[in-house]
Every structure is written in C-alpha cells, then in structure tokens.
Chains A and B, each alone.
Chain A
C-alpha cells in the first residue's frame, strides 16, 4: 500500500457535485484504519460530466474513477487500496486498459491545461516539478533580451484568447515601445460570457502558470506592477490565486531584482470585480480597477499608450498568459506546429448544453466542430437531434448543424457570422427554440449595457421588446425587417465591443433559422415546443391511468384528480414547467 496515491478532484464543479464529502470520507477512513497511502488534492481535469473524480495511482499505473459518492469511496479504499483490486466498472480513464470514455481525451492536446487535474494547485513545488517557472529561470539565466521574447511570441502565432484574437507578440511590442517609468500588466479574469468556465478552471487548477506568464509579460514590456482582475463569483479561484502569489513572493519570483535580473521589480495583486459584464472590455476594466463605474473609454489612446492611471498598460486573457511559459520553454516552432495557417496552437473550450460529455477540452485549432461534439463530447443527450452550437456567447452567434464541418479557427468561425469568442460552446438540440435563444442573449446585453451610447442602451431594449413579443405569439410581419435595421444601426453606432456585437446572436439566428421566426410570427407556433406562452399541457383522456404521479410532482399543485380517475390540469395555475410531461409513464400528458 506504500506507494499508492489517492487524488481527489476539488475544482468548483467537483465540489458542487459533492467532492468535498468524498475527500472527507477518504480522510476519515485513512485516519481510522491508520492507512499508509498518500491522499492528495487536485483540480478539474475537464471531465465535469463524471464528477466527483478520484484517481488512484498504484505500482501498475493510474486509474481515474468517476461519479464517486461516499459509499463508492468506501469501496475504493476497501478493494483497490487495501486489497489491490481495482474496480474496473467505475474506471473512466486508465493508461492500462480501454474505457468507454477514452474518446474524450483522444484528440486533445493540453498546453494551457497542461497541469490542470495533475497537480495540487496550492503547492508550488508540484508546479515546479512539472516544469513550472523553468521558462522564467531560462530567461534570467540566459539573459534573453526583451526583443527576442517578443519575436518568439510573434513567431508562435499565439493570438489573444479573450475573444479579440489579436497577436500577443504584437501587443507586447507596442507596450514595450511606449517608454514610461511606470507600466502595468493586467490579467483579464472577468470571464463574463455566461456559459463558459475555461478561465475559472485554469485559475483554480494551475494559478502559477498564469502568474508565470504574467511575470514573463511584465519583464518583456517593462511593467512595474500587475493586476489580476477576477470575477467575485469565483471565490475559489481568488483564494488559490492569493495562495499562489504569496508562494511566488516567498520564492523570489515576485519582488525586487527577480531571479537576479537587475532592476526587474514586480508585484501582482488580485482585484475582485463587482459584477458587470462590460468590465471585461479592456478600457472599462481599467476604469473599474480605478474604482469608478466600469464604462468603456474612447480608443485611441489605446491602453498600450495610456491605460491604468494613464500609464502604458497591457491586458491579456487568462488562457493567453497560461500559454506563454510553455511557448518560451518549448519554442515557438513547437507551438506553431499545431493549428491552421492563421490560427496557431490550441484552444480550450467549455462544452455545455445538451451534450453528453459536458466539460473542458483543449483541442488543436483546425479540428471540426462535428469532431468536438460527437467524438469528444459523445453526442447529444438522450439521442436527440443536434440543431446548433453557440460560440462566443452574447457577442457571438450560432452555427447550424449543416455547417458543423466548419473548422475552429478565427477566420472560419467568423465566416459563419459567429465568433470564436473566449471558448464557450453551448450545444442545442431540437427542443431549443432559436428565437428564444436570441431573446435570451438580447436580454443579457440589454441589462449589461453600460448606458453610454444611445443605440446600445435603447436599441437593444427595442430589439428585446420585439423578440419578447414574438416569443409570446404577438409578433408582427414587419418585425423581422425592423430587427435587422436596428441590428445594423446598433453595430454602427456603439462605442465598445458590447454594443458592436450585441446584435450578432439575432443576426445569425435570422440567417440560419428564419423559418422559426416565421412559424412564431405567422402561425403563432413554437416548433421546438419551448415558448411557454404558445404551449398548453393537457391530460390525454385515453392514456391517463390515474396514477397520481403528475399531481405529486407538480411544483404548484396545478393537477387535480382522484386516484385511478382521470386527472386534469388547471390552466390558470399551471406554470408550464413540463415536469408532469416528463414524469408521466403513460404518455398521458400532451403538449400543444
């Protein structure tokens, strides 16, 4: 038992699925029976659909167990740890034999996520053991000049992962060129796209990679201070960042004359956001760090000239920074090996929605959307029909099923009308109403508009009103034309990216799913059977056996009827939640 390691995945997703209880149980068993194995913690390995995850490494190799609860944890200790008998049925990944989930990892190339799920994020030694801070040491030891690092970054072809896709090397070049005795480097960890969690996983799983990337960036542009602007909704990420920063200070990666580089002084601190999507935009983020309302400012001057406190500032995304140490250490050619001509390297995606294997994947650019959804993602839940995939959140759009051979790179995705965005990939099936999705995103941008530009503030509101009325069955024939006109005007006359891209979700749905708009407006029907106002739930006389299951499950007690008698739904109380429809075993609830 001596050389056995038991590692529990404790990312936010694991904890939400009950991983803390599993950890406590294993710890209790270990103390109780005085067992002699190593109990360790790690973060999310990306298999969110199998959380909680426990990995056991013995002399033979590694076994990753999925969907572990407290009872199964007892079994794992009893059989595998004590008796050396792995429980093969529970293994989701192993290097010794094939598992049904093996496709999830095949085709993934982990560069940004290289350490996520492999190390304890609260121990800097584990990061260093896997090559951490070697890139920074290399720069210090070999006295690599700033211009050479810039050239390396340009050659690697790395483009910003925050959504814009601007060359990171070029950005650093501009920031480096502006001379000033005070300069700032900022890490954008605001991750505003609802439905995306790449940055959270990275910060929780490998905070030092982001910090090392920032230190290298700071050295390159000559920054004197660093800020990580992190969403307040990510308490675990903030906690682990602060632990990591303290460790980096102790080890001399932060401080004065870092690693002996004369005059290279840097400290980094975490700034908590306060909940505003627009603060992901770089000038708004700067205003927010300065303690003001997070409203975007006019560019030029660009932050590289005049940013935080009017000093030259460079802002990059979490994932961008996490790639930097790998590129410096392994060389730009190695990175540029992956990807397409204009989009190099890998990209992390958060796979969510109606997909079987929801989680985090890192794939080389150039892979098709179909491959991601069917091979890595394991296809659509419940064997339903794949309808579309949403990329880029509120600034992006949806790509319909028939374009699923589109490859992921900046230009190919842009050609469909969607954008690559930061990596949220929400999969929708035949039961998702596309008009409602467009309404959903407009509702989001309308609430999040900072209010500075008239078209963004009022235009999104008018669009939302029109979309709402369409989903409620009160659409007018002229609505589609009005929506399009408003969309182009908002795009043209907004100051920042929020307004300029807010109409995208509507424009792409109009482009690919016009028939659904027509059905809502002319026939007052929702083809996906999702828009509530256009639906009624009824009990079908013939099939109802009076089993009372529907009545018991109805959250608002809208169903009445005696046992073994026909039930009926009181339409004025029914909130159309659909529970009765899914619970009835006799197909007696109909939807029309």
Chain B
C-alpha cells in the first residue's frame, strides 16, 4: 500500500519534470517574448522619459487600428517597449493592455527588452542559408560570447537572426544599423565587429 502511493507520487513527479523540460524547449523554439522580471524592470525603466510619448498618443488617440502605429512609435523612441509605456498608453487611450501585449508579442519587430547599442541582424533567408549564413551566426556567437537574440555584457551588441533583408544577390548578408555588409565570410564578419568595438573603445 505504502509503496503504491509512493510510486504514484514518484511517477507524477517524473511526469512533471518531463513536461517542464518539453515546455522549456518549446520556449526556445517559439517566438515568445516576456516582459522583464521585477528586478531588471527597475533598471530598464530608470532612464525612460515617458513624457516623450505624449505627441504620439495625441496623434493616434481616437483613430481606429492604432495599436501597431502606437507600438512602433514607442519602439522608435526607446529602442524597445517598456512596461511603463504599455501602462501609460492604456491609461490615456483606453486601449486594453492585453490587446496591446497580444499585438506586441505577435510581430517579430517588437521588443520588450532593451537592446545593445548596435543590433547585428544576420540574414537567414533562403539565399543566405544556401550561402552558409549559419557559419556567420556561429562565429559571431563565439566572438561576442552571446546566444542568438542575446546582448553582450557591455551592452554594445545585440545579435539577431532575421529573414531576408532583400539583398539576396549579395548573400550572405548582415546589417548593423543602416549599413549592410554583403558577400560575407565568417572571418570578415568577426572583423567588422572588432572594428566597431575598437572605435567604441576609443
């Protein structure tokens, strides 16, 4: 009797561990974004001046279909969408936070976390994939010591994978700020990063 309940609990535990594992794996694979944890939030919101949002809110306040332009405007201003901005927009326009959050997490353009000074967008479209874009990302990950989507400790770089920058004939391609680098090799890509870092440190 005793053994039986013990065994049952044990299997339930095993089951739980297993599902958590699968769930974690799914999180990595899907484009799921989360708001910042409480501690990080304070840091991230510290230098956000929400008053900057006023003209934007004024412009789109009672227009239909305004969620996307509001979020795009906010992101242009801060580089990402701070939690406090969601709250302010909701209070002043009457939009629901859940609706805005739903939109923000649906589209790959929106970021809920601050990013590095330079965002490196490595193209992983078909043409770039065929021309070995994987090796560009791999060597950048190694050189910057970050994962795909991560930001370096010094806050200088964020590494991202994107689908097609529209310069497929120059594959493989990466974009940093407004500069596009074409016909890359992994060595060249690392060199570009080193040059930017050198400039920043001087």
Contact = CB atoms under 8 A, between A and B. Distances in A.
Interface of A: 12-13, 15-17, 48-49, 51, 191-197, 200, 232-234, 272, 274-277, 288-294, 309, 350-354, 358-359, 390, 393, 424, 426, 428, 432, 437, 440-441, 444, 446-447, 450, 461, 532, 553, 555-556, 575, 577-579
A262 B107 CA distance: 41
B142 A575 contact: yes
B29 to A, nearest CB: 7
Contact of B164 (A13, A196, A358, A437): A196
B186 to A, nearest CB: 5
Nearest to A47: B169
B170 A16 contact: yes
Contacts of B31: 447
Contact of B167 (A197, A293, A441): A197
A96 to B, nearest CB: 27
Interface string B157-194: 00000111111111101000000111001110010000
A272 B190 CA distance: 32
A393 B126 contact: yes
A350 B124 CA distance: 17
A420 to B, nearest CB: 16
A532 B137 CA distance: 14
Contacts of B167: 12-13, 16, 48, 197
A15 B180 contact: yes
Given A13-B170, A233-B164, A294-B106, A428 B64 contact: no
A291 B135 contact: no
Contact of A461 (B29, B125, B186): B29
A555 B169 contact: no
Contacts of A446: 29
A293 B106 contact: yes
A195 B139 contact: no
A16 B29 contact: no
Contacts of B180: 12, 15-16
B87 interface: no
A293 B187 contact: no
A276 B106 contact: yes
Contacts of B30: 447
Interface in B106-135: 106-110, 124-132, 134-135
B92 interface: no
Contacts of B94: none
Interface of B: 26, 29-31, 64-69, 71-72, 99, 102-103, 106-110, 124-132, 134-135, 138-139, 142-143, 162-171, 173, 180-182, 185-187, 190
B166 A233 contact: yes
For A16, A200, A450, A579, the residue with the greatest tally of chain B CB atoms inside 10 Å of its CB is A16
A306 B183 CA distance: 46
4 A-B pairs closest in CB distance: A195-B126, A194-B125, A48-B169, A291-B65
Contacts of A17: 170, 182
A17 B182 CA distance: 7
B171 to A, nearest CB: 6
Contact of A274 (B26, B107, B163): B107
A578 B110 CA distance: 34
A217 B83 CA distance: 43
B15 to A, nearest CB: 19
Nearest to B121: A233
A444 B163 CA distance: 9
Given A233-B164, A447-B31, A579-B186, A556 B170 contact: no
12 contacts: A194-B124, A274-B108, A275-B107, A276-B107, A291-B103, A294-B107, A353-B127, A446-B29, A447-B29, A555-B142, A575-B138, A577-B186
Given A294-B106, A426-B127, A556 B139 contact: yes
A194 B164 contact: yes
Contacts of A579: 135, 185-187
B65 A197 contact: no
Nearest to B102: A293
A12 B130 contact: no
B108 A200 contact: no
Contact of B139 (A193, A290, A358, A555): A555
Given A12-B167, A309-B64, A390-B126, A353 B131 contact: yes
Nearest to A440: B129
A191 B166 CA distance: 9
A555 B170 contact: no
Contacts of A13: 166-167, 169-170, 182
B89 to A, nearest CB: 13
A16 B173 contact: yes
Contacts of B186: 555, 577, 579
